[in-house]
Each structure stands twice: as C-alpha cells, then as structure tokens.
Structure 1
Amino acid sequence: MSRRRPAVVAFDVNETLLDLAPVRAALVEAGQPASLLGAVFARTLLTGAAATVVGDWCSFREAFASALEQEAALGPDARAGVLEAFGELSPHPDVEPALRRLTEAGVRVVTLTHGSPGVAEAGLARGGVTPLVEASLSSESIRAWKPAREVYLWAAGRCRVAPDRLALVAAHGWDVLGAQRAGLTGAWFPRSERVYPPVYEPPHVQAADLAGAVEALLALPA
C-alpha cells in the first residue's frame, strides 16, 4: 500500500523529542553509572508492555520505579529523586525546527506517549515549542502501552483522522512497527538506536535525523 502525506504527525516523547539527560544525571548523583539508564528504561518498557499483553496495566511511573528497584540498589528517597527528574526534561535542539516545519506546511502535530500525563507538556513548555503542538496524548487514559494496536487507533480517533492519515515519528523501532501494524505511516530516525531493528518489517520512512524524517513525510504524495 502506498503511503500518503499525513494530515497529522504524532511524535513519541521520551528520547524522540525529550532528552533524558536529567534522569541520567539524577542516577549519577545517586551514585549509579550513567549507563544504567539504558537498562532501567528498557526494563520499564518491558514491564509496561508485558502488562498490556496479558490484559493488565501499570502506569509509566510505577513501571519505572519498579525497574529502578530491580536494577539499582537505591533507597526510596533516592528512587524518588530519579523519578522527579522526569519533570526537568527539555527537547533536543532539533525538535523546534522540525515541528515548525510541519506546522508551516499545514500539518497538525501531536505527541503520543504512554508516559505520565504532564511530562510531555512540561518538557515542551520548557523548550518553548508548546504553540506548535495541538495536543499531548497519553495512553494512560486508556490503560495501555505502545506498541499495542489500540493505542495508535485511539490516537487516530482523538485526532479525528483515519489511521492512514496519521504518521508516527519515533526513535524506537518497536514503536514504529506498532504504528505501521495499526495502519499508520511509520517514520524512524536514529537517536536511541543505532540502526532500525532488522528483524522488523522496514519502516515506511527512514532518515538520518529528525529533520530528514519530517521532510520525507512531507514529500509523500497528497
């Protein structure tokens, strides 16, 4: 199926748009290696996605706290300090021009996360890009984690567009795969991953950076 230029582009939040450096710094301040963030974040995703698969649910905050307890020998106060660092996230430098490029081209922009409500909004506000984003959507409201199909279809419904008129941009291959299987247009670029997972079907759009992903989506036929 050929892809069309999207009417709405949804962006994953953690790592794709927002830099997790404050969370990494909080781990270091608590006496942990900076590299621990990757393991904790991966276990957080495993915890939440597994819960969704079996028909259960936990919030991102609960899953991250659980992952911290599993991966790091930290007391309750130290774990709380790391969790609070999510309130200090800011956008990567390439985010503002990418979102502005879309809005100036007449394409609507939203964020789509299974993270805690308010985190995306605070980070976008800190980066001064809130006016470029129509809505910040958290699938906590339907008690499901990406890459569950229902999350992407719910987002399309919230945006009042058919799934094939919604694109998802993410730096996570599993997120792009989930979006494509739900009928969305998927766009991947390397930020948290060096290459797109070769065991997945190829992304509809793949670029060297965020700006390239946006330009490739805009270049699709109307």
Structure 2
Amino acid sequence: MTRQRPQVVAFDVNETLLDLAPVRAALVEAGQPESLLPTVFARTLLTGIAAASLGDWCRFRDAFDAALAQVSDLDGPVRTGIADAFGELSPHPDVEPALRRLAAAGVRVVTLTHGSPGVAEAALERGGISPLVERCLSSEEIRAWKPSREVYLWAVGRCGTTPERTALVAAHGWDVLGAQRAGLTGAWFPRAERSYPAVYAAPHVAAADLGAAVDALLDLP
C-alpha cells in the first residue's frame, strides 16, 4: 500500500520528544547509578503493557514505582520524588525545528502517550513550543497502553482523521509497529534504540534522526 502524506502527525512523548535527564538526575541524587534508568524505564513498559495485555490496567506512574521497587531498595517517599521528576522534563533540542517544519507545511501535530497526563503539556510549555501542538493525548483516558490497536484508533478518532492520513513518530520500534498494525503510517528514528528491531515488520519510514523522519513524512505523495 502506498503511504500518503499525513494530515496529522502524532508523536510519542517520553524519549521521543522529551529528554529523561531529570529522572536520571533524580536517581543519581538518590544514590543510584544513572545507568539504572534504562532498566527501570524498560521494566515500567513491561509492567504496564503486560497488565494491559491481560485485561488489567495500571497508571504509568504506578508501573514506574513498581519497576523501581523491583530493582532498588529505595523507600516509597524517595521513589515518589524520582517519579515527580517526570514533571520536570524538557524537549530535546531537535524537537522545535521538526515541529515548526510540520506547522509550516500545514500538518497538524499531537502527542500520544500512555504516560501520565500533564507531563507532555508541562514540558512543551517549558520548551516554549506549546503553540505548535494541537493537543496532548494520554491513553490513561481510556485505560489502555500502547501498542494496543485501541490506543492509536482512539487518537485518530479524537483528531477527526483516518488511520491512512495519520502518522506516528516514535523512537521505540514497538510503538511504530503498533501504529502500523492499526493502519497508521509509522516513522522510527534512533535515540535510546540504536536500531529498529529486526524481528518486526519494517517501518514505513526509518530515518537517521527526528528531522529526517519528519522530512520523509512530508515527502510522501
């Protein structure tokens, strides 16, 4: 199937748009190695996605707390303080120019996360780029986690578009795969992941960086 230039581009939030440095710093302040963050983040996703796949559900924040408790001896109040650092995130430097190119081309931009509501909004405001984003969507509203097909189609419905004219940009291969299985155009670029998982169907767009991913979407017919 030939992919079409999207009318709406949805962006994953954590890592894709936002730098997790404040969470890493909070871990270090609590006496943990900064290398612990990838483990905790991955275990958070495992916890939430596994629960959702079994018909259960938990908040991202609760999954993060459970994951951190599994790999550290930090007590509850300290873990809470580390989780609060998600409220201090800021966009990566390459985010603003990428969003501005989409805005200049007349393409609508939204964020789509299973993370806590308010995190994306606060970070976009902190980065001075809130006007470039039409809306911030969290699947907590429907008690679901990506990569469930339900999440992507819910986002499409909220935007009043169709899967064929909607794209999902993410630095996580599993997120891109989920979007593509729901009929959206998927675009992947590396941040924490150095390569797209070879066991997945290829992404519609694979680019060297965020800017190149956006350019590739704008180049679609």
- TM-score, normalised via structure 2 length: 0.99
Identity fraction in percent = 76
Counterparts of 1:4 and 1:151, CA distance in 2: 21
What SS does structure 1 have at the residue aligned with 2:136?
strand
Match of 2:115 in 1: 115
Q: Which runs of 5+ in 2 are unaligned?
A: none
After TM superposition, give the deviation of residue 81 of structure 1 in Å.
1.1
Match of 1:61 in 2: 61
After TM superposition, give the deviation of residue 157 of structure 1 in Å.
0.2
Match of 2:198 in 1: 198
Match of 1:106 in 2: 106
The letter of the residue matching 2:150 is: E
The letter of the residue matching 1:89 is: L
Counterparts of 2:35 and 2:182, CA distance in 1: 33
Match of 1:40 in 2: 40
Match of 2:172 in 1: 172
The letter of the residue matching 2:65 is: A
Counterparts of 1:217 and 1:128, CA distance in 2: 24
After TM superposition, give the deviation of residue 73 of structure 1 in Å.
1.1
The letter of the residue matching 2:109 is: V
What SS does structure 2 have at the residue aligned with 1:65?
helix
After TM superposition, give the deviation of residue 158 of structure 1 in Å.
0.3
The letter of the residue matching 1:20 is: L
After TM superposition, give the deviation of residue 141 of structure 1 in Å.
0.4
Match of 2:187 in 1: 187
What SS does structure 1 have at the residue aligned with 2:9?
strand
Match of 2:29 in 1: 29
CA deviation vs aligned residue, 1:120-157 (integer Å, no higher than 9, x gap): 00001000010000000000000000000000000000
After TM superposition, give the deviation of residue 78 of structure 1 in Å.
1.1
What SS does structure 2 have at the residue aligned with 1:112?
strand
Counterparts of 1:201 and 1:126, CA distance in 2: 36
Count of paired positions: 221
After TM superposition, give the deviation of residue 80 of structure 1 in Å.
1.1
After TM superposition, give the deviation of residue 22 of structure 1 in Å.
0.2
Counterparts of 1:77 and 1:133, CA distance in 2: 34
Counterparts of 1:166 and 1:158, CA distance in 2: 12
Match of 1:155 in 2: 155
Counterparts of 1:37 and 1:72, CA distance in 2: 11
Counterparts of 1:186 and 1:192, CA distance in 2: 18
Counterparts of 1:22 and 1:72, CA distance in 2: 18
What SS does structure 2 have at the residue aligned with 1:10?
strand
After TM superposition, give the deviation of residue 164 of structure 1 in Å.
0.9
After TM superposition, give the deviation of residue 160 of structure 1 in Å.
0.4
The letter of the residue matching 2:67 is: A
Q: How do 1:6-17 and structure 2 match up within 5 A?
A: 6-17=6-17
Counterparts of 1:216 and 1:26, CA distance in 2: 36
CA deviation vs aligned residue, 1:22-53 (integer Å, no higher than 9, x gap): 00000000000001000100010001101111
What SS does structure 1 have at the residue aligned with 2:110?
strand
After TM superposition, give the deviation of residue 77 of structure 1 in Å.
1.8
The letter of the residue matching 1:13 is: V
Match of 2:142 in 1: 142
